[in-house]
Amino acid sequence: MKVQGSNSRADHIAGEIRASIDHMQAGERLPSVREWMERYQASPVTIQKVLHQLSLEGRISARAGQGTFVEKAVQGGSSLPPDYSWQTLALGGSPISAEVMGRVHQFPKGDLIPLSYGYLDESLQPVAELQKAAARVLRQPHIWSRVESQGLEGLRAWFARTLGQEYRANDVLLVSGGQAAISTIFRAIIPAGAPLLIESPSYFGAISVAQAAGIRPIPVPCDLGGMRPELLEQALKSTGAKAIYVQPTFANPTSSSLSLQRRKAILEIAKRHNAFIIEDDFARDMALEGHILPPMAREGLGQVIYLRSLTKSAAPSLRVAAIIAKGPVCSRLQTMRTVDELFLSGPIQAIALELLTSSAWERHLARLKVGLLSRRNVMLEGLKQHFPEARVTQIPKGGFSLWLELPEGLEDRSFAENCARAGVQINAGSTTFSAEATGQFIRLTYCGASESVLLEGVRIIGDVAREMLSKMGTVSR
C-alpha cells in the first residue's frame, strides 16, 4: 500500500505558486482561479485552499472585483519573518503544553476522513428544525437585549425537569458549551495546585482544563465498568482530594458506563470524604440500545455537580450547556461564570428552548439513535473485515466512539501520524491518560461522517497497520 497524504497535491501546488511569487513585484496581479485550475489540472477547492494559505502567509491579497495580487515582494525567496522571540520571555513557562493545546483545538484537517471528530455529521443534525426555530426566535422583539446572568428561565427550567423533580430552575446555570462548563466548575471549586481525581483514561478536554488551571489531575484506573470504587477510596485517602470527575454514562473515550452498584459506591465514598462529584453527562441523548440509568445527581443532592450539554446531540455551534447543583456551591459557580463571560447569548438560548420544547426534538432524537446505531454497526463490521488485528474493547451501547487496543508492535502516536498521512484522522489513546498509558489504544468516532466514508476510513487504517507491522516483520500478507 502506498501511504500518501491527502494534502500532498495542494502542498505541491502551493510550493510552485510560492516560488513564482518570490520573483514577482508587490502589486503584481496573479492569474485567476480558473487559470490556476487549468495549469495544474486541479479542482477549485484545492486552488482556493492554496490561495487561502498564501494569503495567511501575507504573500497575496484579494481585492474585490479586481483579482488577487502580490502583497509583498520577496527578494530571492529569502525574506526574514517578523521576530516574535520577545514573546517567549514575556509569556514565561506555559501551564499547558503545545501538544495538549493542539488536541483541544483539533478540527478535521482538509480532506482527511474524520474518525477523530466528536460532533455530529450534518446529516445527523436537526438542521431544518434549528433553522425553523431560529426564524421564529429572530422575529421576537428585544431578542438581542441582555438576558439574566443565570440564563433564560424557561431553558433552565427545562434542564431542571429533565434531571429530576428535586431540582428547580434556580439550581441551573447556563454556559456556552460543555468545555466552558468543565472549566467553570474546575476553577470554581478546585484551587490551583490542588488535586482532582479523574478517570484513567478520560476526556482529554477535561485533563487539559485541569492542567491549564494549575490543577493536578490524579488518575483513578478504570476497567470495562468504569472507575473502580476501591481505587477511588485509596486515592481520596492518599491525596485528600475534594473533587472527582466522572462520566458515568458512555464515557469518552472508552464508551463504558457505571453500573448502578458502582454509582452507589462512588456516591457513598464521596460522601464519606466530603468530596464533590462532577458528573459529566454529555452523552445522555445518545443511547443506542438497552436501559440507560438515571443521573447520579438524582441521588447525590448537594454532593454532585451535574453537567449536561446540547452540543454533542444537536449541533456543534449550538453552544449551550447546563451546570446544575444545590447548596452554596451554586453561588461560587455563578460568580466564576459571570467573571468569565457575564451572560450567555440570548438568541442561542432562545433557539435552544424553541427546539427542545417542540415535538421536533423527540423526532430528532429518534432519528439520531437510528443513524448512530447504523454507523456504529458499519464501523464494527468494517473493523472485522479490514482491521481484525485490533481489539474492540467493548461494543458501546451509546455515545459516539469505539475504543480499540492496537496489535502488539504498534505505538499509538506513530500509528495516528501514519494514518493522517494516509488520509484518516484518528485519536491516539495516550492523549486521554493524565499519567502513563496502560497500553496502546486509539479512539475511533463514528458520528462525524457518512457510513461509506467511515468504511473507507477503516479500510485505510487497516492497510496502514499492516504496512507498519510488515516492516517490523510482524505480519506478512
Q: Model confidence over 15-71: pLDDT tens digits?
A: 888 888 878 888 888 888 888 888 888 887 788 888 888 888 888 888 767 788 888
Closest-CA residue to 445 (of 283, 237, 217, 310):
283
Both 274 and 339 in one domain: the answer is: yes
Q: How far apart are CA 306 and CA 185, in angstroms?
A: 10
Domain with 430, as residue range(s), is: 98-124+365-471
For residue 299, what is the domain's CATH number? 3.40.640.10
Q: How far apart are CA 51 and CA 339, in angstroms?
A: 40
Confirm whether 85 is domain-assigned: no
For residue 374, what is the domain's CATH number? 3.90.1150.10
Q: How far apart are CA 202 and CA 282, in angstroms?
A: 13
Both 155 and 222 in one domain: the answer is: yes
Q: Which residue has the cell 428552548?
A: 353
Confirm whether 82 is domain-assigned: no
Give the global pTM: 0.80
Query: Mind listing the pLDDT tens digit of every residue in the chain (477 residues)?
Result: 444 444 677 888 888 888 888 788 888 888 888 888 888 888 877 888 888 888 888 888 887 677 888 886 444 444 556 777 777 767 776 666 555 555 555 555 667 899 998 999 999 999 999 999 999 999 998 989 888 889 999 999 999 999 999 999 999 999 999 999 999 999 999 999 999 999 999 999 999 999 989 999 999 999 989 999 999 999 999 999 999 999 999 999 999 999 999 999 999 999 999 999 999 999 999 999 989 999 999 999 999 999 999 999 999 999 999 999 999 999 999 999 888 888 888 899 999 999 999 999 999 999 999 999 999 999 999 999 999 999 999 999 999 999 999 999 999 999 999 999 999 999 999 999 988 888 999 999 999 999 999 999 999 999 999 999 988 876 544
Both 172 and 53 in one domain: the answer is: no
Rg over alpha carbons for the chain, rounded to the nearest Å, is 25
The residue type of 258 is: L
For residue 57, what is the domain's CATH number? 1.10.10.10
Number of domains, the chain: 3
Confirm whether 249 is domain-assigned: yes
Confirm whether 186 is domain-assigned: yes
Confirm whether 91 is domain-assigned: no
Q: Which residue has the cell 428585544?
A: 142
DSSP per position, 276-292: EEEEE-TTGGGB-SS--
- Domain termination site, one of 360, 389, 407: 360
Both 147 and 58 in one domain: the answer is: no
The residue type of 145 is: S
Closest-CA residue to 109 (of 7, 10, 253):
7
> CB atoms < 10 A from the CB of 82, how many?
6
Both 19 and 156 in one domain: the answer is: no
Q: How far is CA 225 from the centre of its chain?
A: 23
Closest-CA residue to 137 (of 325, 354, 314):
354
For residue 320, give Cα distances in angstroms to 173, 242, 375: 10, 27, 26
Both 243 and 333 in one domain: the answer is: yes
Q: How far apart are CA 300 and CA 296, in angstroms?
A: 6
Q: How far apart are CA 277 and CA 306, in angstroms?
A: 8
- Domain termination site, one of 360, 388, 409: 360
DSSP structure class, residue 317: T
Confirm whether 83 is domain-assigned: no
Grid cell, residue 438, equals 496502560
Q: How far apart are CA 237 and CA 195, in angstroms?
A: 12
Both 328 and 374 in one domain: the answer is: no
Confirm whether 41 is domain-assigned: yes
Grid cell, residue 63, equals 481585492
DSSP per position, 148-165: -TT--HHHHHHHHHHH-T
Q: How far apart are CA 286 and CA 399, in angstroms?
A: 5
Q: Which residue has the cell 452498584?
A: 261
Cβ(279)–Cβ(307) below 8 Å: yes
Q: Dump pLDDT digits (tens) for 133-150.
A: 999 999 998 989 888 889
Q: How far apart are CA 263 and CA 283, in angstroms?
A: 17
Q: How far apart are CA 355 and CA 343, in angstroms?
A: 21
